[in-house]
Structure 1
């Protein structure tokens, strides 16, 4: 296809956005002198700060997402990707999600806890739109790299941020509501997790049973269960519910996808 001036600009924008995200990440981990995320906002974002915060190991999924986004940024910058319709449809959207990803870390470091909730909500909306466009515009001839770096990475990003939005909002509420509201933490937490499970299944169904969003939600919910059953604050009800949600949102899409692969052609 014939390249347009905006195509090169889009490639540069994606590379710049991912670079910004990486710098913000280095700041958020303390590598560039910033305060680690677990210690910012008075510790409100730490793994033991609220009933809906996953245990620390859950956040290692960011490494997978970041590696995938870096790989995508490099791949989409190749000359043969410059004028493809898929990149034109999705490149700017991916750039937006990576900028918002980095802005969340900036908000956590320098702004308020409320600002982090606003930014992560915007990120969730942007990821939902990006993933929807990726699914709708995908064709069988787009290739493995396209499937992994667009559908796969965006799906993981969306799934994790779905759960992270809940944890971030819970952190804000924990830091602001009266302490006597803690008695309602278990029933509210269970209700929220059930809603997360329904949303996870809704994403899977609407995307043709893509598995990566559910895997990311399941990963986060599993570590949330670990935090509530083996860490502080403890809640057996929330922990058990998180295990059930993790199993459903991760296993059901995998089962449907497996059945589709085993189904004879033409059925």
Structure 2
């Protein structure tokens, strides 16, 4: 019975996250998230803000999360891998909705601890998944793929949100311009991507999502009201570094995870 309630909790949390996304998109008649909080999260708000189309990745993530929630009802009762994933999965879904609501209601300052907590929870989920191997292709795509994309994108989103919150609070970068801070943040995002690639054994999903976000940062800095060529170049270099390291790690290890059977979490 306890396992059944856990599966229901995941399903309900997924619905809450999707409804929150629907409201946040402005489809329900509200303000689109990029226009909420005085436009603090718009594509031209800071040098590290991704251009608008970048956010379409949320559609892929939400479809994956719904698929993950549905799949929970068909897994075996002794699947300890998913038992360990339960808490971070539910927390990530609820924090996702909380972040959207905090921005929609104009509490931009509150969105920062929420998205930082979301990032931490997704790192926790990633740690659970990397310790064991998926039982098959469906598991690899639905669970590992979804949470990998989720983590990679939230890395970029956290950087953009932090920059937006600081800018809205009146932070002027200690006298350094947007170009300098854009380059620094893009470099940090690239470093995070490299570390994830090494730690995760060359998993593709986090790299794909993080690269997607940085690519749209580059596009936004080359075209729009806030042009910053140095930031665009730094973002492209960061993408190249993350992709190269991911492929190198994957090649060096032969991605042993794809050859190794699923293991129980001790």
Relative to the length of structure 2, the TM-score reads 0.90
Other-structure match for 1:218: 211
- The answer as to whether partners of 1:81 and 1:87 remain within 8 angstroms in 2 is no
Q: What is the RMSD of the two structures over their aligned residues, measured on CA atoms?
A: 2.0
Higher helix fraction (1 or 2): 1
1:183 is displaced (CA, Å) by: 4.5
Other-structure match for 2:247: 254
Other-structure match for 1:81: 76
- The answer as to whether partners of 1:47 and 1:55 remain within 8 angstroms in 2 is yes
Q: How does 1:100-179 map to 2 (within 5 A)?
A: 100-138=95-133, 142-177=135-170
Matched, 1:199 2:195: no
Which stretch has the larger CA shift, 105-114 or 213-222? 105-114
1:203 is displaced (CA, Å) by: 0.9
Matched, 1:11 2:15: no
d(CA) in 2 for partners of 1:64, 1:251: 24
d(CA) in 2 for partners of 1:165, 1:220: 11
1:39 match: secondary structure? coil
1:195 is displaced (CA, Å) by: 1.4
The equivalent position to 1:61 in structure 2, one of 43, 52, 57, is 57
Residues 138-162 of structure 1 show CA distances to partners (whole Å, capped at 9, x for unaligned) of 26xx111221122111111001000
1:259 is displaced (CA, Å) by: 5.5
Relative to the length of structure 1, the TM-score reads 0.90
Matched, 1:96 2:115: no
List alignment gaps of at least 5 residues for structure 2: 260-266
Matched, 1:30 2:26: yes
Which stretch has the larger CA shift, 250-259 or 86-95? 250-259
1:111 is displaced (CA, Å) by: 4.5
1:153 match: secondary structure? helix
Other-structure match for 2:66: 70
How many pairs are equivalent? Answer: 257
List alignment gaps of at least 5 residues for structure 1: none
d(CA) in 1 for partners of 2:153, 2:213: 7
1:181 is displaced (CA, Å) by: 5.9
d(CA) in 1 for partners of 2:97, 2:54: 19
Cα distance change of structure 1 residues 106 and 258 upon mapping to structure 2, 3 Å threshold: same
d(CA) in 1 for partners of 2:199, 2:173: 40
1:180 is displaced (CA, Å) by: 8.4
Other-structure match for 1:188: 181
